[in-house]
């Protein structure tokens, strides 16, 4: 298939998706080989139909009249990569604290535990790192209880104070009791106690 046809096909497919969607070279291999798809995506970038986020990762941009291109969050990009790789991911560190509202710091480097490959991807000034881990660390059922485990691990047993424990236990009121019980079994003993106390 020649270049303009590959490019035109991809441009037509893009119109079927909402603005703000993230795409990869692999998404368009039905329309040409890897090399021709890469070249077509670069031409669409030159025409400002796509924005290149990182090597092989493109954004079908949503444009705001005042702010310009609305870039996806680090989490949106990480989730898109996980979907492509059919991998599970769990946010750790400051990202977990941030999601729970325990930190206002927006990390420039975020780390996700995964059952996929260990690697880092640079997106602008931000870095998304995927760290391969044992399946046990990815088994949490509840989103809040899973994030709570990662947040508490990040803070550390000796640095967790009563205020943080109270905040986490208040957040856990929104989690299903069965998820808390199940996920607490995956956590270190000291975190298990904090989680179980939230349902008493």
Domain ranges of the chain: 3-69, 73-137, 139-197
Mean pLDDT of the chain: 93
Residue range 186-199, pLDDT digits in tens = 999 999 999 999 99
Residue range 26-55, pLDDT digits in tens = 999 999 999 999 999 999 999 999 999 998
Q: What is the CA radius of gyration of the chain?
A: 20
pLDDT for residue 3: 60
Class of residue 37 by CB neighbours under 10 A (exposed 0-12, middle 13-18, buried 19+): buried
Residue range 141-150, pLDDT digits in tens = 999 999 999 9
Cα atoms found within 13 Å of the Cα of residue 197, Cβ hemisphere only: 13
Asked if 94 and 110 touch (Cβ cutoff 8 Å), the reply is yes
3-state secondary structure labels for all residues of the chain: CCHHHHHHHHHHHHCCCCCCEEEEHHHHCCCCCHHHHHHHHHHHHHCCCCEEEECCEEEECEEECCCEEECCCHHHHHHHHHHHHCCCEEECHHHHHHHCCCCCCCCCEEEEEECCCCEEEEECCEEEEEEECCHHHHCCCCHHHHHHHHHHHHHCCCCCCHHHHHHHHHHHHHCCHHHHHHHHCCCCHHHHHHHHHCCC
CB count in 10 Å sphere of residue 134: 9
Percent of all residues in the chain with a pLDDT value above 90, rounded to a whole number: 86
CB count in 10 Å sphere of residue 54: 16
pTM: 0.83
pLDDT at 60 over 70: yes
Structure tokens, 103: 């930190």
Percent of all residues in the chain with a pLDDT value above 70, rounded to a whole number: 98
The architecture of the domain spanning 3-69 is Orthogonal Bundle (1.10)
Residue range 69-106, pLDDT digits in tens = 999 988 999 999 999 999 999 999 888 999 999 998 87
Q: Determine the length of the chain.
A: 200
Q: For residue 4, what pLDDT band results from cuts at 50, 70 and 90?
A: confident
pLDDT for residue 125: 86
92-116 as b/e, with b when 16 or more CB fall inside 10 Å?
bbbbbbbbbebbeeeeeebbbbbbb
């Amino acid at each position: 298939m020649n270049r303009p046809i590959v490019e035109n096909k991809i441009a037509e497919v893009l119109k079927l998706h909402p603005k703000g969607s993230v795409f990869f070279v692999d998404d368009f291999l039905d329309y040409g080989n890897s090399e021709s798809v890469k070249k077509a995506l670069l031409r669409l970038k030159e025409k400002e139909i796509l924005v290149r986020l990182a090597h092989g990762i493109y954004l079908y941009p949503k444009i705001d009249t005042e702010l310009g291109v609305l870039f996806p969050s680090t989490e949106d990009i990480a989730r898109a990569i996980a979907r492509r790789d059919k991998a599970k991911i769990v946010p750790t560190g400051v990202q977990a604290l941030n999601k729970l509202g325990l930190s206002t710091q927006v990390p420039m480097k975020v780390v996700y535990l995964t059952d996929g490959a260990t690697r880092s991807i640079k997106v602008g000034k931000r870095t998304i790192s995927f760290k391969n881990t044992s399946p046990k660390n990815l088994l949490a059922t509840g989103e809040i209880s899973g994030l709570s485990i990662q947040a508490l691990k990040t803070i550390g047993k000796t640095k967790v104070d009563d205020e943080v424990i109270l905040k986490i236990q208040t957040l856990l009121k929104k989690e299903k009791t069965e998820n808390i019980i199940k996920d607490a079994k995956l956590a270190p003993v000291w975190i298990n106690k904090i989680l179980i106390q939230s349902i008493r």
